[in-house]
Amino acid sequence: MKLLLTGDSIVARKEGLKEPRLNATLKKLHQNLKLNNTAVSGINSGAFYAMLSELVLRQKRWDKLIILLETNDLAQHKQVPLEQFEQNMNLIVSSVLCQYYPQNTILVTPPAVDETKQIHRNNQLIGDYAAVIKNVAQRYRCQFINLYQAMIEQGNLSELCRGELNDGLHFGQQGYSLLGNLIVKQIE
């Protein structure tokens, strides 16, 4: 199976590896995967929509498209209002569906954060943006992964959210293992 992974730094980060950590994790969990990762650190939904052609539409067609974006939209120091974010996500999803059918498009919520370290995001706000992703996925009948809820349910966010930056947001092996398992479960 071939996956096109795209979004923000959660998808793009290498965490000390030569390739994005998410790619490495998925390869370990499912050895028959071919991956293309076009994620851009720091990107929000508006900038992503502006680059949609480059990041998704001009790429060769893959079996599944996985999008995880909203981490930068909800950051309080550069926040995109919830209504604008929803509009942006509607534009993005309606645009990619010309190339990827809803059953081949997977929207992923932002991750939960360790609030003791993360100063620009909190889990209440993330829950609000995650609800928008869920609504957009339902509206367009896309597949949906609630990474935020899975992290909250697993608990121990200080461990899950610990990566090289140790900023309470960008996670390492444990967080990527959880995300990778959620993706593999969804594609199988």
Q: What is the pLDDT of residues 43-94, one digit of tens each?
A: 999 999 999 999 999 999 999 999 999 999 999 999 999 999 999 999 999 9
Amino acid at 71: T
Q: Give pLDDT, residue 78.
A: 95
pLDDT tens digits along 118-168: 999 999 999 999 999 999 999 999 999 999 999 999 989 999 999 999 999
Rounded CA gap, 110 and 108, in Å?
7
- Domains of the chain, residue spans: 2-187
* Rounded Cα distance, 96 and 52, in Å: 8
This prediction's pTM: 0.96
List the structure tokens of 166: 């140790």
Q: Under the phi-then-psi rule, with left for phi > 0, alpha for psi from -120 to 50, and beta for the rest, what region is 115?
A: alpha
How far apart are alpha carbons 65 and 73 in whole angstroms? Answer: 20
Q: What is the pLDDT of residue 82?
A: 96
| Element at 3 (helix H, strand E) | strand 2-7
Q: pLDDT grade, residue 178 (50/70/90)?
A: very high
First to last CA, the chain: 10
* 3-class DSSP state of 51: coil
pLDDT of 170? 94
Q: What is the pLDDT of residues 3-22, one digit of tens each?
A: 999 999 999 999 999 999 99
Task: Say if CB 66 and CB 39 are below 8 A apart.
Answer: no
For 2-187, which CATH superfamily applies?
Answer: SGNH hydrolase (3.40.50.1110)
